[in-house]
Chain A
Amino acid sequence: MFKSCLFRVLSFQRSFRLLANDRYVRPSIARCSSSKLSTSEAKVNTNNDRPQFPGSRSEWTQKLAFTRNTDYDGIPVYRVMNRDGSIIDESQDPNLGEAKITKIYKGMTLLNTMDRVLYESQRQGRISFYMTSFGEEGTHFGSAAALNDDDLVFGQYREGGVIMWRGFNLQQVMDQCYGNIDGNDKGRQMPVHYGDKNLHFVTISSTLATQMPQAVGAAYHFKRQANGKVVICYFGEGASSEGDAHAALNFAATLDCPIIFFCRNNGYAISTPTHEQYRGDGIAGRGSGYGIASIRVDGNDTLAVYNVTAAARNYCIEESKPVLIEAMTYRIGHHSTSDDSSAYRSVDEVRYWHQQDHPISRLRKYMELKGLWDDAKEKEWKEESRRQVLQAFVAAEKKPKPNVIEMFTDVYNEMPDNLRSQYNDLKAHLKVYKEHYPIKNFNELTEELC
């Protein structure tokens, strides 16, 4: 107490000096990060045998030894069921119940069917771009099912299953990919950049890892509101090399934010394998360096992902601290429709994951063992899901694009004069040159120009 008062006095004297100096004061201009006298709560350790440095809390050693990555085994991969879908330790079976497990399975397979149709439609030039989630369906649905539906999601771009779990329907997906009049983003972003305020899923942007510190800010506000909500932030192992990932993990730890960092480690960032991405113990291995509780999970084991996410959610709420989950998986599909992954990895490698260790087939085996699923149900659902996908697809293709004024709205909350004037310029231009533009595809544009 006495010391903190002393610090406060010193601090005030320091401010007096600054004020008293009429000219610009040189010390205050220096980039100052250590001026924490008045707020520092560091306790001075009374045991003089221990180091007193404010920056750490460790003991002395007389042994000169570097700490090396190889000193430790990697963080183990938590799993619940083996590749045959049988539970390894019965105490770990979440026993989700028929309705929930069926919803998860149907969601994963619907996403898979949708991915196939949209991937093909891009190949045919009907949409401009697409990214599949092949092999990572388990990470989406396992984690989404363990959260509350009003927990806020910040994603990267390969988390379509999470927003679908919340109720983003096939029509909304298709409308966004087509950029038509009903797309949530009014045709402004590339396909697969989903988002929906009502579903608490923050709109995706292409810039990698930028969502990470943002998610921390949102979690901080939730903590202040004490609203019982957490934030989950998804990202790939490649994105975790960005500076924003570092900032986010560090901010979340120092500001005690209730956030789940969920890393999808699928082995590749486009063509770059993980051994060119990092040399540590993956992403989970970084957690303790930031003071963040961390865990590694089998991302192809949907039940393990569920358990881990549910436990992380509880930890976030109870401790008001961040958690880091690294879900190990494999990107079975190409990075995107603009990528041919056979240029940098073998077909055999992909085939292994597709045939031997796939989240969908594993969950199906688990359900069959429990008597919750069979071939007849599979056949019926396959046909039904394909019908639903194609129906939404055809409907989306027929819808017009939004009116071109939407190119100018929402830049600001109100359209400023320069944008109003630029919109008027464009319309005047189109009146003269309309035959050179695709005006008939855009809502009400033909009528406005004639």
Chain B
Amino acid sequence: MWMRQNPIFSFLLKKRLNVAFKRRYSTHFNFYPSTVAASEGETNRLNLFQAVNNALDIALASDPSTCIFGEDVAFGGVFRCTIGLQDKYGKDRVFNTPLSEQGIVGFGIGLAVVGATSIAEIQFADYIFPAFDQIVNEASKFRYRSGNHFDCGSLTIRAPCGAVGHGALYHSQSVESFFAHIPGIKVVMPRGPIQAKGLLLSCIRDKNPCIFFEPKILYRVAVEHVPVKDYVLPLSKADVVIEGDHLTMVGWGTQVHILQEVCQMAQDMLNISCEVIDLQTIIPWDKETVINSVKKTGRLLIAHEAPITAGFGAEIAATIQNECFLHLEAPVFRVAGYDTPFPHVYEPFYIPDKWKCFDAVKKLINY
């Protein structure tokens, strides 16, 4: 990859190596890198955008029908996720489209209907709504309504999502719960580069239309040793990031890093052992892992950046009270964004940060 030969990039890596891993990258969270076993083979230090780029590179190399398209993807993308791919694979496989989200997703569905692997980029999740009709009425229902005569299972839609420090209303949204109400699609969000590569390759190869939300604040700050090989991580499978006994915490995307810090705070300040679960796939979600954890701990905290009302936390809470009623020692708590648009200067007060989550842990334990 060209980044590795790039002197400035090498300098960056060296600089990063000299600082503590849990250094502060933003006002609201620390990145907790994942590791893989040595048996996974050779690894590369990649940040999240490079891991996405690597997955796309593998997808293009391993399947000649694969096309990547969207607004400004040709020169590498506004977040650099597609850098170098057009030069490597040609203008007919990695190309710009006109600025129209409904066109991008509709076009992507059409490619997939005739069997091509179709990877569409929506520049920001905030701008996916013009394509909502194509996703909810078309992509998700194609196989069902045609009696399996046609499908668009080889479609993947990628979109940067989530808070970024100063993105305000239209560069910050977490929109997954809108899509969680749509039977027929899969919705996936990684927490770091290792998961991004494995889950994105799963989405690309899954036989169903998938939406892959990439927490944009992690694009540069999340750096991990990512396996070089072509690998996939299973969809609809949650990842128990930290095991614990007293309380279960469920999140996805950036929020998993906040929960890991809260887990440490609870251990240090309250002597509480928390279990942290990264849901990874929003739908169809891994109920079993969460249910088993809550049956063990008896307490559940769900945290997400999106507004609380009808956020995906509500779905998890309702399921857990139904499945784990006799095991629950306290009500299910949700810490989430407020029911307001995502604000500019108030962002530090808006997000479900570690102190809000820590307070919820205290209340759950003392209930």
Taking Cβ atoms with an 8 Å cutoff, the residues of A that contact B are 11, 15-16, 18-20, 22, 24, 26, 28-29, 31-33, 35-39, 152, 154, 183-186, 188-189, 193, 195-197, 202-203, 205, 207, 210, 212-222, 224, 243-244, 246-248, 250-251, 254-255, 409-414, 416-418
Do the beta carbons of B98 and A218 come within 8 Å of each other? no
* Cβ contacts under 8 Å, A244 to chain B: 102-103, 106, 133-134
Of B31-39, B142-150, B260-268, B342-350, the one contacting chain A is: B142-150
Do the beta carbons of B106 and A19 come within 8 Å of each other? no
Using a Cβ cutoff of 8 Å, how many contacts connect chains A and B? 214
Do the beta carbons of B79 and A217 come within 8 Å of each other? no
- Chain B's closest residue to A176 (CB) is B147
Of B116-124, B305-313, B352-360, the one contacting chain A is: B116-124
- Chain A's closest residue to B170 (CB) is A31
* Cβ contacts under 8 Å, B330 to chain A: none
Instruction: Select which of B25, B67, B149 is within 8 A of A195 by beta carbon.
Output: B149
Say if the beta carbon of B138 comes within 8 Å of chain A: yes
Do the beta carbons of B137 and A410 come within 8 Å of each other? no
**Given known contacts A205-B141, A250-B103, is B8 in contact with A18 (CB within 8 Å)?**
no
Q: How far is the CB of B193 from chain A (nearest CB, A)?
A: 15
* Cβ contacts under 8 Å, A32 to chain B: 72, 78, 123
Do the beta carbons of A214 and B138 come within 8 Å of each other? yes
Cα distance A205–B106 when bound, in Å?
Answer: 13
Q: How far is the CB of A243 from chain B (nearest CB, A)?
A: 6
Say if the beta carbon of B225 comes within 8 Å of chain A: no
Q: A19-B80, A22-B12, A205-B138 are in contact. List 19 more A-B contacts (CB 8 A).
A: A19-B8, A31-B170, A33-B72, A33-B99, A36-B74, A39-B74, A39-B86, A195-B146, A195-B150, A197-B149, A207-B138, A217-B106, A221-B67, A224-B67, A224-B116, A251-B97, A411-B183, A412-B208, A417-B287
Cα distance A188–B144 when bound, in Å?
Answer: 8
Do the beta carbons of B78 and A193 come within 8 Å of each other? no
Give 10 nearest A-B pairs by CB, closest first: A217-B110, A213-B106, A247-B103, A203-B146, A214-B110, A413-B207, A217-B107, A416-B284, A217-B111, A197-B149
* Cβ contacts under 8 Å, B217 to chain A: 24
* Cβ contacts under 8 Å, B133 to chain A: 207, 210, 244
* Cβ contacts under 8 Å, B151 to chain A: 413
Do the beta carbons of B114 and A152 come within 8 Å of each other? yes
Most A CB atoms within 10 A — which of B74, B78, B166?
B78
Do the beta carbons of B137 and A197 come within 8 Å of each other? no
Instruction: Select which of A35, A154, A413 is within 8 A of B78 by beta carbon.
Output: A35
* Cβ contacts under 8 Å, A248 to chain B: 103, 106
Q: How far is the CB of B141 from chain A (nearest CB, A)?
A: 7
Do the beta carbons of B284 and A203 come within 8 Å of each other? no
Do the beta carbons of B110 and A246 come within 8 Å of each other? no
**Given known contacts A15-B80, A185-B147, A214-B106, is B284 in contact with A417 (CB within 8 Å)?**
yes
Interface positions of B from 135 to 176, Cβ below 8 Å from A: 137-138, 141-151, 153, 164-167, 170-171
* Cβ contacts under 8 Å, B86 to chain A: 39
Do the beta carbons of A220 and B153 come within 8 Å of each other? no
Do the beta carbons of B12 and A19 come within 8 Å of each other? yes
Do the beta carbons of B65 and A221 come within 8 Å of each other? yes
Most A CB atoms within 10 A — which of B86, B134, B186?
B134
Say if the beta carbon of B277 comes within 8 Å of chain A: no
Cα distance A410–B113 when bound, in Å?
Answer: 15
**Given known contacts A33-B72, A36-B96, is B9 in contact with A213 (CB within 8 Å)?**
no
Interface positions of B from 175 to 232, Cβ below 8 Å from A: 183-184, 186, 207-208, 217, 220
Do the beta carbons of A26 and B106 come within 8 Å of each other? no
Cα distance A71–B178 when bound, in Å?
Answer: 47
Say if the beta carbon of B338 comes within 8 Å of chain A: no
Chain B interface residue count, CB cutoff 8 Å, equals 78
Do the beta carbons of A411 and B145 come within 8 Å of each other? no
Q: How far is the CB of A239 from chain B (nearest CB, A)?
A: 13
* Cβ contacts under 8 Å, A213 to chain B: 102-103, 105-107, 109-110, 134
Do the beta carbons of A197 and B150 come within 8 Å of each other? yes
Do the beta carbons of B8 and A218 come within 8 Å of each other? no
Cα distance A31–B67 when bound, in Å?
Answer: 23
Q: How far is the CB of A230 from chain B (nearest CB, A)?
A: 12
Do the beta carbons of B143 and A413 come within 8 Å of each other? yes
Cα distance A248–B107 when bound, in Å?
Answer: 8
Do the beta carbons of B106 and A247 come within 8 Å of each other? yes
* Cβ contacts under 8 Å, A219 to chain B: 110
**Given known contacts A214-B109, A243-B102, is B171 in contact with A29 (CB within 8 Å)?**
yes
**Given known contacts A188-B144, A417-B284, is B110 in contact with A24 (CB within 8 Å)?**
no
Q: How far is the CB of B162 from chain A (nearest CB, A)?
A: 12
* Cβ contacts under 8 Å, B97 to chain A: 251, 254-255
Q: How far is the CB of B75 from chain A (nearest CB, A)?
A: 4
Contacts A/B (CB < 8 Å), 13 sampled: A22-B25, A35-B78, A184-B147, A185-B145, A193-B145, A203-B145, A207-B138, A213-B102, A217-B106, A220-B107, A224-B92, A224-B116, A248-B103
* Cβ contacts under 8 Å, B71 to chain A: 33
Q: How far is the CB of B60 from chain A (nearest CB, A)?
A: 13
* Cβ contacts under 8 Å, A416 to chain B: 236, 284
- Chain A's closest residue to B87 (CB) is A38
* Cβ contacts under 8 Å, A22 to chain B: 12, 25, 220
**Given known contacts A35-B72, A36-B96, A218-B113, is B144 in contact with A210 (CB within 8 Å)?**
no
Cα distance A244–B131 when bound, in Å?
Answer: 9
Cα distance A416–B118 when bound, in Å?
Answer: 23
Do the beta carbons of B79 and A28 come within 8 Å of each other? yes
- Chain A's closest residue to B64 (CB) is A224
**Given known contacts A19-B8, A39-B96, A213-B102, is B145 in contact with A218 (CB within 8 Å)?**
no
* Cβ contacts under 8 Å, A15 to chain B: 76, 80, 83
* Cβ contacts under 8 Å, A152 to chain B: 114
* Cβ contacts under 8 Å, B107 to chain A: 213-214, 216-217, 220, 247, 251, 255
* Cβ contacts under 8 Å, B141 to chain A: 205
- Chain B's closest residue to A196 (CB) is B149
Instruction: Select which of B95, B110, B130, B147 is within 8 A of A183 by beta carbon.
Output: B147
Do the beta carbons of B284 and A24 come within 8 Å of each other? no
Cα distance A85–B97 when bound, in Å?
Answer: 46
Interface positions of B from 50 to 78, Cβ below 8 Å from A: 65, 67, 71-72, 74-76, 78
- Chain A's closest residue to B100 (CB) is A247
Most B CB atoms within 10 A — which of A19, A224, A409, A418?
A19
Cα distance A410–B171 when bound, in Å?
Answer: 35
**Given known contacts A36-B96, A205-B141, is B110 in contact with A216 (CB within 8 Å)?**
yes
Do the beta carbons of A412 and B184 come within 8 Å of each other? yes
Say if the beta carbon of B366 comes within 8 Å of chain A: no
